[in-house]
Amino acid sequence: MDFTFFLNHLFNQPVLMDEYCVPGLLHQFTSNFVINGERFELRLPNRVDENRPYQVVNGVAVIPIQGSLLHNFNYRSQYATGYNQIRADIEVALADKTVKGIAGLFSSSGGHVDGVFDLADYIYQAQQSKPFHAIIDPDANSAAFLLASSFTKRTLSRTARAGSNGVIYMHIDQSAMLKSSGVEVTLFTAGKGKADGNPYEKLSLEVKTKIQARIDYMHELQLATLSRNLSMPIEQLREIGAEVFSGQQAVDVGFADAVMPPNEALAAFTDELSSADRTTTIGVIKMSIETEKPGADQPDSQKLIVSAKTRIKSILASEEAKGREALAEYFAYDTEMSAADVLIALAKAPSAKAEEKPTAQSPLDKAMSGTKQPNIESDAADDQAEDLNDFDQMLADFELIHGKEA
């Protein structure tokens, strides 16, 4: 594989990268590009299916963000992840109806300045659609932490590291090496500053000043983005500098929300999403019941809920549904047939014999009998309260039939 791409994108330009990672990269790129006895190869991530570039765990899309983070790079491997790949994964997850939240698994010391701010802004805005959770293990430093800071919440293990907020520029001066080898490079240029920062001559003070100004500008962008994402003053971040914090230290300084092992963090995230989903569902239906009055002006969404409730109740409470309860529930919950059409279909279907003995409880029956029903209060009259109790039972049945994710 031609490593010119990596060389051109890691050296002689600013990068947001942990300072301890730079010598390691330099060693890798000066050791015949061999890792563990084999040449470095890029691999597409393992996929659950052809349409998902990530795994889904209990409604959470799990997206690895690992290795060096690269601009205009459309792949992911153990050693590098492209910003394009991360964004593509998130775009698919946002459109995936089975995904309720997005978890980023961070294992990166940073990467390119180019592209990272746009991706951080994109993630920050995407939180309006679905919650994001950054799980840091073992590190999210510099560019990686900039991305993690855009997530809704951040957790890290006890030994994981977060921070290193700064910009670093590594210039390679080859002039002495070339001179000792008897090689002299002559540059022909047009345009002032065209050869600034080239590796064949020492940097002048003027060029050093230009490079430093460029780095300072990028650092200000970094501080402004972190300030927005973390709700921390820029001066506080400037005072913290490029320090790296582990475990509880990261929580204390405001870089993370909690210290948790990765598996527990993911489980807590899925539980949080499931709990929020149940609360939202019950809250919306409760609001629709309390505001339901004949002739009252109601938002379209509430009218739809009331209409659906009326349709389901008219089917399940009908004479035609007696002895055909399972079929009635199927028509009520899993089809869009009108109530009138459903009653006609039920009337034509055979009913269960009254003398049949009840069979052993199915897993669904057992779950229904052991589930506490939601207690939705109402200020309506007694006859409305009776209807509401019927609806409570119907709502619980609906949730159990269609499933509530753990």
Mark which of 217, 250, 267 sits at the end of a domain: 267
User: What pLDDT score was predicted for residue 362?
Assistant: 41
Terminal CA-to-CA distance of the chain, rounded, Å?
Answer: 45
Q: Does an H or E element contain 166, and which?
A: none
Considering the domain architecture, whether residues 262 and 301 belong to the same structural domain is answered as no
Distances (CA, A) of 241 to 221, 253, 397: 14, 12, 55
- Does some domain include residue 187? yes
- Does some domain include residue 231? yes
Cβ count near 68 (within 10 Å): 24
The DSSP bridge pattern shows strands 38-39 and 34-35 to be antiparallel
Q: HSE on the CB side for 24, CA within 13 Å?
A: 10
Instruction: Name the token pair of 28.
Output: 């890798």
In one letter, which amino acid is 210? K
The answer to whether residue 379 scores a pLDDT higher than 60 is no
Cβ count near 54 (within 10 Å): 23
- Does some domain include residue 255? yes
Q: How many domains does the chain contain in total? A: 2
- Does some domain include residue 140? yes
- Residue 52 is given by DSSP the state B
Mark which of 227, 250, 267 sits at the end of a domain: 267
Considering the domain architecture, whether residues 231 and 308 belong to the same structural domain is answered as no
How far is 391 from 373, CA to CA, in rounded Å? 10
- Does some domain include residue 280? no
The answer to whether residue 98 scores a pLDDT higher than 80 is yes
Closest residue by Cα to residue 146 from 188, 177, 185, 118: 118
Considering the domain architecture, whether residues 194 and 319 belong to the same structural domain is answered as no
Considering the domain architecture, whether residues 99 and 215 belong to the same structural domain is answered as yes
Tens of pLDDT along 284-323? 444 444 444 444 455 555 566 667 778 888 888 888 888 8
Considering the domain architecture, whether residues 241 and 362 belong to the same structural domain is answered as no
User: What pLDDT score was predicted for residue 376?
Assistant: 42
How far is 179 from 184, CA to CA, in rounded Å? 6
Domain that holds residue 152: 4-267
The packing angle between helices 382-402 and 325-334, to 10°, is 80
How far is 239 from 254, CA to CA, in rounded Å? 13
Tens of pLDDT along 13-62? 566 655 555 544 544 444 444 444 444 433 334 444 556 889 999 999 99
pLDDT band at 78 (very low <50, low <70, confident <90, very high): confident
